[in-house]
């Protein structure tokens, strides 16, 4: 499994150099396909690009959860490949001129 980072910048301290902020992008489903569907056979269908802004766990009083949660900012869905680059074009997804964002658990089950 690959790691996903959502870290604030860290100032230089002693012999350590300053490190910039890191907010990784991921491919995620906003809604999981029907149960029993092999996710690996779907390709990009239904996937969205998201930028992870925070990774967190809830306090025990809210229950126990098998995975951490993430706060993500969404990009537009993967639709069709660009004729010139052969890549998908995405942009930040907005509603009412506000960045679409959401909290949730996005771990592959």
Q: How far apart are CA 39 and CA 44, in angstroms?
A: 10
The two tokens of residue 84 are 């010139």
Extents of the domains making up the chain: 6-104
Which is more confident, 39 or 108?
39
**pLDDT (tens digit, 9 = 90+) per residue, 50-77?**
999 999 999 999 998 888 999 999 998 8
Q: CA distances (Å), 24 to each of 3, 31, 37, 44, 56, in order?
A: 9, 20, 27, 19, 15
Using the 8-state DSSP alphabet, how is residue 91 labeled?
-
* Mean predicted confidence (pLDDT) in 81-109: 83
In the predicted structure, residue 1 carries a pLDDT above the cut 70:
no
CB 72 within 8 A of CB 44: no
Determine the pLDDT at residue 39.
66
User: What share of the chain has pLDDT > 70, as a percent?
Assistant: 87
Predicted TM-score of the model (pTM): 0.77
The two tokens of residue 40 are 């690996």
Q: Chain-wide mean pLDDT for the chain? A: 85
Determine the pLDDT at residue 41.
62
Determine the pLDDT at residue 109.
45
3 state DSSP class of 107: coil
Determine the pLDDT at residue 40.
65
Neighbouring-strand partners of residue 98: 95
């Amino acid at each position: 499994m690959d790691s996903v980072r959502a870290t604030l910048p860290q100032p230089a301290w002693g012999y350590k150099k300053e490190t910039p902020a890191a907010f990784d992008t991921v491919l995620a489903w906003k809604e999981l396909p029907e149960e029993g569907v092999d996710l690996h056979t779907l390709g990009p269908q239904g996937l969205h690009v998201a930028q992870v802004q925070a990774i967190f766990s809830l306090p025990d009083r809210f229950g126990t959860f098998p995975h951490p949660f993430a706060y993500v900012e969404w990009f537009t869905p993967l639709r069709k490949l660009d004729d010139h680059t052969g890549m998908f074009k995405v942009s930040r997804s907005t509603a009412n001129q506000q960045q679409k964002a959401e909290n949730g658990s996005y771990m592959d089950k």
